Structure 1
Amino acid sequence: MRKHFLPGVLFLLLISLTTVRAQSIPSPKEHFGFNIGDDYQLATYTQTEAYFKKLAASDRTKLVDIGMTEEGRHQYMIIVSSPENLKKLDRYKEISTKMARAEGLTDEQARALAAEGKAVVWIDGGLHATETVGTMQLIETAWQLVSRKDPETLRILDKVVILLTHANPDGQELVSSWYMREPKPEKRLLENLPRLYQKYAGHDNNRDFFIMNMKESQNIGRQLFVEWIPQIMYNHHQRGPAGSVLAGPPYRDPFNYVFEPLMITGIDALGAAMVNRLNSENKPGFTRLGGSVFSTWYNGGLRTTTHFHNMIGLLTEIIGNPTPEDVPLVPNRLIPNGNTPFPVTPQKWYFKQSIDYSISLNYATLDYAARHSDQLLYNIYRMGKNAIEHGSSDYWTLSPKRVDAINQLHQDDLKKNTPGTARAATPDQYGLLTRGGGIPVKYFDAVLKDPALRDPRGYIVSAHQPDFATAVKFLNALIKTGIQVQEATADFTVAGKKYPAGSYIVKTDQAFRPHVLDMFEPQDHPNDFQYPGGPPVRPYDAAGWTLAYQMGVKVDRVLDGFDGPFRKLPYGELLTPKGRLETGTVAGYTLSSRANNTFIAVNDLLKAGVEVYRIPTGVSGKPELAAGSFFVPASAKAKTLLEKSARELSLDVTGLAKRPTGALVKVSPMRIALWDTYGGSMPSGWVRWLMEQYHFPMQVIYAQDIDAGDLRKKYDVIVFVTRAIPAAGASGTGGGEGGFASREPKTEEIPSEFRPWLGKITADKSIPQLKKFLEAGGNIVTIGSSTNLAYHLGLPVKNALVEMTSAGSERPLPNEKYYIPGSILQVSLDSTQQATWGMPQQTDVYFDASPVFKIAPDAVAKGLVKPLAWFPNPKPLRSGWAWGQAYLQDGVAAFMAPVGAGKLYAFGPEITFRAQAHGTFKLLFNQLYSTSMP
């Protein structure tokens, strides 16, 4: 008997320890003091972090710290799966990434890996912190997956690796603390937050995922695109359209033409699983397709960027808040249709209902993944393999522009009565062509087999370009999103052009080819109208965003296959090229005005007390040292600082044997003020981040600071981002998060420390103080709609985008004639002017229904206004959608106007847009120095 006793005791002890371990994990009610979904209750991130650490005691979880947030908090991902799977986690991660990248695998090997692996599903919450359902459902989902023992949960744990990721810890801490500060539950409100719920970007944190400026984006992006590359990612948001409970997949058209079709149909499949689950549980109110505004066109969102990486990216937008609300009556949503098969009726709605819906949607997703684990793994491989094959051969991407070209060729032949030209068949009442309809295939071949219209096989980013450091930032943005980049280890020649060692190559024969094309190539948004001749259908976000254009990177497109002395860089390894400082006996050093990082070096020099000058005419014989380049007289301190800048900022610092000939202007730092508002302005937050990155000292000011006057005693330059200055004749601006209109909070509702932030820019109080500031020698920089200041000041400019009515009065052009949502356009400028130093003669600008000006005929001759940028032709569109763009021709995009002893700078385009528009940062930076003759 003795020989059987010890194993039996060990077995009982093991069971006992397992039971104790399970029992040691508290429920949300035991930890927080309330159930997730209870009315008037929210958990802070401090409480949530502590709970995540308790959940980590489960043998179903692994807690991973994925990085620090912008405010210095730990950002966590909880990996949930069966205990057996967690023991082999590295293997399942290896399979997931190998299948997604699809390199060197045969179909047979891929099927074997798909059978061996586990589906990987990402579920996040809290990105938009005021959307509290997302944060709270993440906590409840983690608890249910850890604690439930039903067959479905056990099957999910066996077949799926789940990545539960908190998307915005800082935001949860702010929002929950703000809501819970009111001791009486019925008085708790989410509105009137004092500042952005992400330190710099606020709501725009969901527009940061192809450039990843923010730390949270970088943390998330590394897990999504480098470490794990899940097959499904689910991004929880609010709010659902009025009269529904939630909007979900599939989404409305248009979708981006670079996508792999399997990704789109994969979304369809998951959407069906989600709505079926809700319907089977008698949970109405799911709307999809044309029932909501959400599409799959845009890149840059947490969910949408995954689409360009062959992941099935899911978004739901649900109603619900800890404070009960009502489902409103919207009669046209009451009739069942394909958009909304099971409508919801008007009723009181409680937070717990939204949490229950969210858990059902999560389980629908996870159940689908468990049942189709091998299929999901194989399909992401298949999409990657297709992308590699397309990038390895001649391939033409279909788009509206190509279809228009086909139709135009056909119409031209019809007009010429070319033999063999068939007329297109007329569709019947159902929009269908009769048998034999269509036009001859030769028109398809003329466009879609034109060698000049092929997709590129790759792109070369030469080391010889005006702003190589910014090109490196662009490449690093690609690397952060899992793109393969190659480095030239020696000089090479492609298509007859020579390139130096240290240049970089991005080929399209890789799995994430859709993302590569989307970052380098222009977007071709369709002309999307509600009906022929009717108003346009607004894109969900931007229509065009090509990052290479926004960042001003010089790129060569290569249409034929090519190779060279190229080294493939490891996935996720960022580039850190070093610049150089010319040594020897020199009179001083020069830095190019074309390089954005030059401004960091200059600001560091000025802070250290080193003299810096600008060279108005540039340096003769050195085209890289264009007008406005910087000259630093030689000194030991200057050399030490510049050596550091060259090393860390990828700058080439040129030594000059003699001081530059001609006049120099001395550079001095300015006292910079940046406007912001109560609740936070996203454009202001982005500029604040830019100022910090480029080492410009500045102070944030509010409307009350402006209204108090004496501005010239405190500041030299004030920067107003879009939505700061109201239109002439308006009473004020929208306030709140991002500057969008919201109820102006009452002073007594706001804690005393935030009350100095209240108020708006007004015509009666603020504008006179700004005029005094200008007249006393201060400068003001306005961007976007804040160029309204020019009208308040009575400058000789007016809106260029107007038409005459039959009554003889002017009115803005209607959208049916002119409509340009967020897109990239090209402008011309005079780069010899101080305001535009370092800029090329043509540059791409981000344009979002931006102001365009017409200058009074004699204003330029009299020196009252100086144009800085303009539209020289009727087709400035580079990427996106520009209906009626011909109206822009000869319109002024930016100007400078003296006002008293000061200057007003007006930039219509969004020159600092989301800290992505590196190509136009200098239009701001140049105005942030005081320059004078020495």
Structure 2
Amino acid sequence: MLRRLAASTAAAVLVVTGWNVPAHADALPPVPPQAVPIGDVTGYPRQNTLPVWPDNPDDASIPIGVIPYDEIAPKLNALQRTSKRVSARLAGRSAVGHDLYVVTVTAPESRAEAQRQERWKRLIEDEPVRARTDRQLLRDYKTPLFVNANIHGNEWEGTDAALRVIEEYATSSDPAVERLLRRNRLVFNVTANPDGRIAGTRANGNGYDLNRDLTIVSQPETNLIRELAVGVKPIITLDLHGYVSPTLLHPSTPPHNVNNEYDLFIKHALPNALGIEQGLKDLGYAETQSARIPFRDDEPGVWDDFPPIYVPSFSLLQSSIPYTIEAPLNPRGNLTPEERVRRSGINTDVHEVAIKKSLDYIQEHRNQLIFDQAEVYRRGWAGEPLRDVPDGYVPGWGPEDDYRTEFPRSYVIPAGDRQHSAVAAARLVDLLIGSGGRVRQAERPFRAGGRSYPAGSYIVDLHQPKRGIVNSLLEPGADITDRVSDLYAGPAGWSQGLTWGATVDTLWKELPRVRSEQVRDGVVRGGYPAGRVDYRLDVQDAADLRAVNDLLDAGARVHRLADGSVVVPWSAGAERLVRAAVKEHRVSFERAPRRWSGTLLDEVVVGYVGGVEARDTLADTGFEARAVTPATLAGTLTGDVDVLLVAGTLNPATLTAENRAALDAFLARGGGVVGLDTAGPAFSNAAGLLGVTAHAGPGLASGVVNVVNRGGPVTAGAIPHSFVAQPVWFTGLGAGVTVEQSYAADPLLAGWWAPAPDGTGGQAQAAGQAAIVRGTTAAGNDVVLIGTDPVWRLHAKGLQSQLGRALFWAS
């Protein structure tokens, strides 16, 4: 097997100082194009004067020899002034407020022509059989190409290649270019990560790798990419990266996402990759005389397209033919200025070749590409099973490539008492619709699958055009442990249907027969009981935690019950605060038990050791949070900190005397501790807190796991599934340690979890062992250790309530 190539550089947080943000910073981005009524569609060009950013001599692009961020808007403004083929818009803002530019290059269109193009685009998805036999459509439809550039900030050259192509096609008088723009729309996300481009970091300004966020959509930049992937409906998608030598060209090795119509992808993806490879050879550089095409050149698992979190894997589920293009020459590091410029110049040429060769492929195979994109949608509407792709279908296709799933007939996301969390259900519906799926809502009560459902329940008919992405988000997933021995990256299982906190029922053979209407978003109203009654809130979602923290911040008397729920005793003031919490967070209070007993809560201040995921999960759940590091304990772990969240390394033995004294003082006054992953139990043991032995699976072990909830303040009422990205479990539990959650007898439901070569760290060792434990030390410190992953990339939102309940208990 070839050695797996590691991703370059770790994510880093961007700190921006001294920026003069243009006055438009509070303007809202435009409505997503897929939501625009046909009658509101205007012609091309659609030109806008982009605000210009001040000169920044510290832009990390400058030493590389590529365009600085502040020169992009002036260049696009100049091109719009001189060419009617270029339309640029401010399409959103980055994590720290930089403008995101989307550029469309095409021949001018009247309003009527643009509306006809929009009708055809929708027809291909809505009525694929009719669309692909429409002679006028086949002759005049402008096939879209989408170029996503610079998603990793310190992989710059995709932006420069995009601008080069935009400028050439804007100004060329070549009849071939004029003909190409009459038959195509080229859509460019010019710099998908301006924060990272300026700072020279892989991550955006919030510290996230954006190319891991497509089905989580936690970042504004990813929201735009998803909008474009769904709304543009590109025939081909190019995601421009660096640096892998020789140039890497997707298609990828197995595992393949089990929901893909892979026969319709690989028949085009492989020959176009070969065409790009030839174009690279034709450049004449010694460094571009070969390419690495993982499907052709690598062993399974080396560079996969399995999880839908990447731009290409998400786009493939949108019926596009996507590519990761990794330019070959790293311009970073200890190089002369001349060598940096030479390398970035070659990389820019490589990306330009990828764009132009893909356009050539679209022209040469236009009708077949339209037919096959429509065929994906047709199969979805018809509910046909995935195809059995025979060995040798394309050179190299074999049994190792056979990844398929069975589609159920429908899913139901219940309303009413059977729904674990109405807020989570609405959030899941938003994710499905935002990802291109279609969801309906029942207007009346109904029965299906032997169960009764109230009006308002959501119905997901899997006979729909983008069933692949919908099912990928909702189905449990597949255990691929025995199929691959290596993975490029996790997660190997995801299932927002099981890990986002909502109840989702699978109907294998049945579509509910009830009057329903298609919805555009998830709706939840929340409520509270009438009359002078005490209010109970069962904390099962981040929204519930935000509501509790708002109540505490407003001075409400909030009591935590033994099962982790909270009660607010009635008063006129409490009723006003509860009503405000319901309006703000859409949560639902119920009448408290007649004789309840609980612990009075105070506002909780959390000091956390860890990265951006811990920071942002605390923000999502409404806790007042303070970053703590081993070097700053003396100044940050002060008397108002109630709980220490250990989500990163904190070794008491390595602290300075001053910082160790601050930690000792915190523990001496009874401060609580919540520890995550391996860092939490390591700190607990070093500090002499809970007596446990922690074990960890392999670093790439990840997925959806079956768990058994024992009840108690952390897991009472919790969902029966969890998420792991390197599972951790606990044995050797000391006196007074209580198990709140354990791994089931068959832990892994979906994902990859193999033992280490010596046989340790596997599922068999974790089966039945503790996943969440709690206890109180002799000094009075309440401690919770969590071996699952409630903060990983903000992914498993259904676990956030468990973390929040642990923080309340430990406080």
Given the two structures, how large is their TM-score scaled by the length of structure 2? 0.82
Map 1:454-493 to 2 at 5 A.
455-464=407-416, 465-493=419-447
* Partner of residue 609 from structure 2, selected from 656, 659, 675: 675
Q: Is the 8 A contact 1:119 1:370 kept in 2?
A: no
Asked if 1:827 is matched to 2:707, the reply is yes
Kept in 2, the 8 Å contact 1:71–1:170? The answer is no
Q: Deviations over 1:717-747 (max 9, x none)?
A: 12232x4347x99xxxxxxxxxxxxxxxxxx
Confirm or deny: 8 A CA contact 2:621 2:804 kept in the other structure.
no
Matching residue of 1:586: 532
The CA deviation at 1:324 is 7.6
Alignment of 1:259-338 (within 5 A): 259-260=260-261, 261-282=263-284, 283-289=288-294, 291=297, 293-323=302-332
Partner-residue secondary structure (3-state), 1:669: coil
CA contact (8 A) 1:489 1:565 kept: yes
Q: Give the distance between the partners of 1:527 and 1:489, measured in 2 at CA.
A: 43
Tell me how far 1:554 sits from its aligned partner: 1.5
Residue 724 to residue 319, structure 1, CA distance change in 2 (3 Å): farther
Q: Partners in 2 of 1:489 and 1:790 — Cα distance?
A: 52
Count, aligned residues: 726
Partner of 1:866: 738
* Structure 2 letter corresponding to 1:88: E
Equivalent of 2:349 in 353, 356, 376? 356
SS of equivalent residue, structure 1 residue 598:
helix
1:847-883 Cα distance to aligned partner (Å, 9 max, x none): 2222222124xx2xx32x332322241x111111233
Residue 877, structure 1, aligned to residue 757, structure 2:
no
Equivalent residues of 2:332, 2:340 under 8 A apart: no
How many Å separate the matches in 2 of 1:591 and 1:529?
44
Consecutive unaligned residues in structure 1, runs of 5 or more: 1-20, 179-189, 328-345, 400-429, 434-447, 531-535, 617-626, 677-683, 730-760, 802-812
Select 1:577's aligned residue among 520, 524, 534. Answer: 524
Question: Counterparts of 2:705 and 2:747 in 1: how far apart (Å)?
Answer: 5
Query: CA separation of 1:297/1:43 partners in 2, compared to 1, >3 Å: closer, same or farther?
Result: same
Pairs within 5 Å for 1:81-480: 81-84=106-109, 88-99=113-124, 101-103=125-127, 105-106=129-130, 109-110=133-134, 112-172=136-196, 175-176=197-198, 178=199, 190=200, 197-203=203-209, 205-225=210-230, 227-240=231-244, 244-260=245-261, 261-282=263-284, 283-289=288-294, 291=297, 293-323=302-332, 350-390=343-383, 395=385, 455-464=407-416, 465-480=419-434
Structure 1 match to 2:649: 724
Taking the aligned partners of 1:765 and 1:228, their CA distance within structure 2 comes to 57
- 2:127, 2:578 → 1: CA distance? 43
Is the Cα contact below 8 Å between 1:778 and 1:902 reproduced in 2?
yes
Distance in 1 (CA, whole Å) between partners of 2:566 and 2:451 is 31
The AA in structure 2 aligned to 1:76 is Y
**8 Å Cα contact 1:525/1:881 also seen in 2:** yes
CA offset digits 1:365-415 (Å, max 9, x no partner): 122223333332221101110122225xxx47889xxxxxxxxxxxxxxxx
Q: What is the SS of the residue equivalent to 2:260? A: coil
1:85 and 1:490, CA in 2 relative to 1: closer, same or farther beyond 3 A? same
Letter in 1 for 2:547: A
**In 2: Cα distance, 1:461 partner to 1:763 partner:** 53
Gaps of 5+ in 2: 1-44, 390-395, 755-761
Q: Which amino acid aligns with 1:279?
A: K
1:1-32: CA deviation from partner (whole Å, max 9, x where unpaired):
xxxxxxxxxxxxxxxxxxxx9xxx99x9xx99
Partner residue, 2:674: 781
C-alpha deviations, 1:228-283, integer Å up to 9, x for none?
2212111111221xxx2321122112212221120232222321221121123333
Q: Does the alignment pair 1:703 with 2:630? A: yes
Match of 1:901 among 756, 760, 780: 780
Deviation at 1:500, TM superposition (A): 0.4
Deviations 1:153-207 (A, max 9, x none): 33432221011013535424xx42x4xxxxxxxxxxx4xx6xx84233421x222
**Contact 1:200–1:689 (8 Å) recurs in 2:** no
1:894 match: secondary structure? strand
Cα distance in 2, alignment partners of residues 902 and 108 from structure 1: 68
Kept after mapping to 2: 8 A contact 1:580/1:652: yes
Which has the larger Rg? 1
Residue 924 in structure 1 maps to residue 803 in structure 2: yes
**Closer/same/farther in 2, CA of residues 94 and 63 from structure 1, 3 Å limit:** farther
- Counterpart Cα distance in 2 of 1:201 and 1:386: 39
SS at match of 1:128: coil
Q: Name which of 848, 852, 860 aligns with 2:729.
A: 852
1:703 match: secondary structure = coil
The question of whether the paired residues in 1 share the 8 Å contact of 2:138 and 2:367 is answered with yes
Q: What secondary structure does 2:383 align onto? A: helix
User: Any conservation in 1 of the 2:606–2:643 contact (CA below 8 Å)?
Assistant: yes
Query: Percent identity among equivalent residues?
Result: 20
Aligned CA distance change for structure 1 residues 32 and 926 (closer, same or farther; 3 Å) = closer
Q: Could you tell me how far apart the structure 2 residues matched to 1:219 and 1:431 are?
A: 34
Distance 2:540 2:343 in 1: 56
Structure 1 residues 748-777: Cα deviation after superposition (integer angstroms, max 9, x where no partner):
xxxxxxxxxxxxx76998677545532331
Distance in 1 (alpha carbons) for counterparts of 2:111 and 2:182: 10
Matched residue SS, 1:235: strand
Instruction: Please report how far the alpha carbon of residue 661 of structure 1 lies from its aligned counterpart in structure 2 after TM superposition.
Output: 0.7
Contact 2:66 2:344 (C-alpha < 8 Å) held by counterparts: no
Report the Cα distance in structure 1 between the residues aligned to 2:85 and 2:741, rounded to whole angstroms.
60
Task: Give the stretch that moved more between structures: 110-119 or 351-360.
Answer: 110-119
| 1:631–1:568 CA distance, 2 compared to 1 (3 A) | same
Answer yes or no: is the 8 Å Cα contact 1:170–1:197 preserved in 2: no
State the shift of 1:296 in Å: 1.5
Taking the aligned partners of 1:112 and 1:494, their CA distance within structure 2 comes to 43
Q: Which amino acid aligns with 2:226?
A: G
Counterparts of 2:110 and 2:347, CA distance in 1: 31
TM-score w.r.t. the length of structure 1 is 0.71
For each residue in 1:649-695, what CA deviation from the matched residue of structure 2 results, as whole angstroms up to 9, or x when unmatched? 33222245xx741422112111222234xxxxxxx323323333332
Residue 783 (structure 1) shift: 1.4
Q: How does 1:807-822 map to 2 (within 5 A)?
A: 821-822=701-702
